[in-house]
Structure 1
Amino acid sequence: MGIRVIGVGAYVPERVVTNHDLARRVDTSHEWIVSKTGIRERRIAALDEAPSDMGAHAALQSLGHAGVDPRDVDLIVTACATPDQSQPAVATMIQEKLGIGSTGCPAFDVNSVCSGFVFALSAAQGMMLADPERYRNVLVIGTDAFSRILNWDDRRTCIFFGDGAGAVTLRQTGDDARRIHFELGSDGRGGRAIEVPAGGSRRPVDGDVLEQRLNTFTMDGPKVWDFAVETVPRTVRALLARQRLRPGDLDLLLLHQSNLRMIEALMGSLELPMDRTVTTLELLGNTASASIPITLRAAWEEGKLRPGTRVGLCGFGGGLSWGAALFDW
């Protein structure tokens, strides 16, 4: 039995926020943001639009691409760090929006921040392998609305993020043994480098939290940079080595869309040219757990995913956490 990605979908909101828009609010400029991050604009969810809405749109596109009826979905795994609400799971909300709640298929969330999609992909494949009779067609979704947790007066963070969702459809195959290979890891010692300090059950929202904006996203940029440039190349090389491959054997490496300068540095460290990757952050910003599946959809639209294309994925972010995947299209 094999497991293949047979469909991919993406969704981004209509509203565009440019660097010039941000420069009217915080002390920055279009030129500075582009020079440091490569980002020119980002999409922001409408007031009545949440991760479950965006995730449902991406899921429908993925299912359409795969030719799978929503009623034939056996499992939904959703990566999300900015859920609509603390309960229930975003995946169950997406299930309801797809009109398949009555099927009773399991639906649950994974929160590993910007690595979440790769972790969700691994969890989904594991369940497919463990119970192949039950899990034949599976949706894996990454969806986030970081605009809802940002301090829009903090130029160190607000310039990076956009909202969106991406999804893939996995299916069992009986004619080959292809599977997705993974290399996952976490280091809780770095948990404070990327965090929302308050707003959870340890420190619920109160007047002091709101006054100090402790319920908004914070990031230690230099520490995150150092973490990424050290961990991502090592993780990708380790994953490839277990399959007796080297970075040069990849046809395409899609990285979490954190920062164009970081992506350039990571590709350089792996001795891969930039034409072996695809980037979407220039017009979408960092879409967190959605960035890898959104970029996978872009790669398909650009004609870079042909039968047999050897694809690597790597997410990295809060936790600290990291996850790489390897598969043939």
Structure 2
Amino acid sequence: MVKAFIQAVDYHLPAGSLSNEDLNAQFPEWSVDKIAAKTGIENRRIAAEDELSSDLAAAAIQNVLARTSTARDSIDFLIVCTQSPDRQAAGTAAAVQAKAGLPLGIGALEFNLGCSGYVYALGLAKAFIESGMASSIIVATVDTYSKYLNPSDKSVRTIFGDGAAATIVSSTSAESEERIYGLVYGTDGTGAPSLIVPNGGLGDGTLVSPQSAPEVRGLVSNGSDLYMDGPAIFNFTLDVVPTTVERVLHDSDLQMEEIDLFVFHQANRFMLEHLRKRLRIDPDRFWVSMSDTGNTVSSTIPIALREAEKAGVLRPGMKVMLVGFGVGLSWGGLVTQW
């Protein structure tokens, strides 16, 4: 049986930005230093009003194809992960296929998942390749959460940024060792009220999450009004991430010391540092990269991987553990050999 592996990763960020200085000008009670210390973020990239998720995803795909000199007609499947689709219909995956100039004969699907989405997408790509349904897949993750944020809600505007990443997942010979393995997943839909966009969908999200109603939060609605219960999400993360790491190690038959690099969802620096210490991971084996991007939801892990690669921290042959966690509530983890 053929094996799937990550051939290359690249990303694209919109030109717009929101710096800590910009936020401090709007919210003087939050100093530049306080924002940086709490989040580990200096700047967030923000999509233009007319810039859609498909635009960012197509640009990320162009980047990875150009950098690797990969022919478009070698791609036979496209998987798009996004929680900010261009519209309810037609699908964003079809728009990405067209804008990226990918072949007409490919399959293209999208799924709605956030912070754990990259792990799930790699699992899907692995399943397609190792079942023989595809041989070269592009995984595109993209979110434009800034369009969901209420401009008066500093609690989320300090965290989230927009961006897209593209990963080429290819096949190797049957004799090759596993390169994407130890996959574990988890879901707790009862936690959905902790991180939700209450408005703009077909259902009234405030019935699911009454505390997310804009008037309860003292906000004038912008039509979306993303809500996050920070303490609830923090506690959820402390519950699921350590056990996920244990499950991935067990299912991949590895020990902690055999993992060369840990790359978690880049939620915020405070949370990541807390997890690192709790798991007793040395700082030089734990990669954090969000200062100039913010939390880009489904794209934080692939963006971090590319940045680690450019910095020379991530090198061929290394075993890397990826763990995503967040909105849903949803989580997942795996090991990949780079």
Q: Structure 1 length as normaliser, TM-score? A: 0.93
CA deviations over 1:175-231 (Å, ceiling 9, x no partner): 513241211110011010000112111239xxx999544622100000000111221
Give the equivalent residue in structure 2 for 1:40: 42
Q: How many residues align?
A: 324
Are the equivalent residues in 1 in contact too, given 2:3–2:129 (CA < 8 A)?
Answer: no
Give 1:73 shift. Answer: 0.8
CA deviations over 1:59-99 (Å, ceiling 9, x no partner): 12222344321121111111111112122222211100122
Are the equivalent residues in 2 in contact too, given 1:248–1:271 (CA < 8 A)?
Answer: no
**Within 5 Å, which residues of 2 pair with 1:1-329?**
1-26=2-27, 27-103=29-105, 105-130=106-131, 132=132, 134-174=133-173, 175-181=175-181, 182-203=183-204, 211-213=220-222, 215-329=224-338
Are the equivalent residues in 2 in contact too, given 1:8–1:66 (CA < 8 A)?
Answer: no
Give 1:244 shift. Answer: 2.1
Once residues 193 and 298 of structure 1 are traced to their aligned partners in structure 2, the CA distance between those partners, rounded to angstroms, is 30
Structure 1: gaps of 5 or more residues: none
Once residues 328 and 65 of structure 1 are traced to their aligned partners in structure 2, the CA distance between those partners, rounded to angstroms, is 21
CA deviations over 1:115-160 (Å, ceiling 9, x no partner): 1111111112112222x1x401000111111110001211111110
Are the equivalent residues in 1 in contact too, given 2:319–2:336 (CA < 8 A)?
Answer: yes
Once residues 212 and 150 of structure 1 are traced to their aligned partners in structure 2, the CA distance between those partners, rounded to angstroms, is 10
Give 1:305 shift. Answer: 2.6
Once residues 215 and 168 of structure 1 are traced to their aligned partners in structure 2, the CA distance between those partners, rounded to angstroms, is 29
Give 1:100 shift. Answer: 2.4
Once residues 33 and 254 of structure 1 are traced to their aligned partners in structure 2, the CA distance between those partners, rounded to angstroms, is 23
SS at match of 1:185: strand
Are the equivalent residues in 1 in contact too, given 2:72–2:103 (CA < 8 A)?
Answer: no
Are the equivalent residues in 2 in contact too, given 1:8–1:63 (CA < 8 A)?
Answer: no
SS at match of 1:235: helix
Range with greater deviation from structure 2 (44-53 or 5-14): 44-53
Once residues 88 and 268 of structure 1 are traced to their aligned partners in structure 2, the CA distance between those partners, rounded to angstroms, is 45
Are the equivalent residues in 2 in contact too, given 1:191–1:320 (CA < 8 A)?
Answer: yes
SS at match of 2:104: helix
Once residues 256 and 165 of structure 2 are traced to their aligned partners in structure 1, the CA distance between those partners, rounded to angstroms, is 25
* CA distance 1:277–1:61, shift in 2 (3 Å): farther
Letter in 2 for 1:45: A
Are the equivalent residues in 2 in contact too, given 1:78–1:141 (CA < 8 A)?
Answer: yes
Once residues 65 and 237 of structure 1 are traced to their aligned partners in structure 2, the CA distance between those partners, rounded to angstroms, is 35
CA deviations over 1:259-278 (Å, ceiling 9, x no partner): 10111111112211222122
Are the equivalent residues in 1 in contact too, given 2:319–2:335 (CA < 8 A)?
Answer: yes
What is the identity percentage for the equivalent residue pairs of Structure 1 and Structure 2?
A: 34
Q: What CA RMSD, in Å, does the superposition of the two structures yield over aligned residues?
A: 1.9
SS at match of 1:283: coil
Give 1:28 shift. Answer: 1.7
Once residues 294 and 202 of structure 1 are traced to their aligned partners in structure 2, the CA distance between those partners, rounded to angstroms, is 32
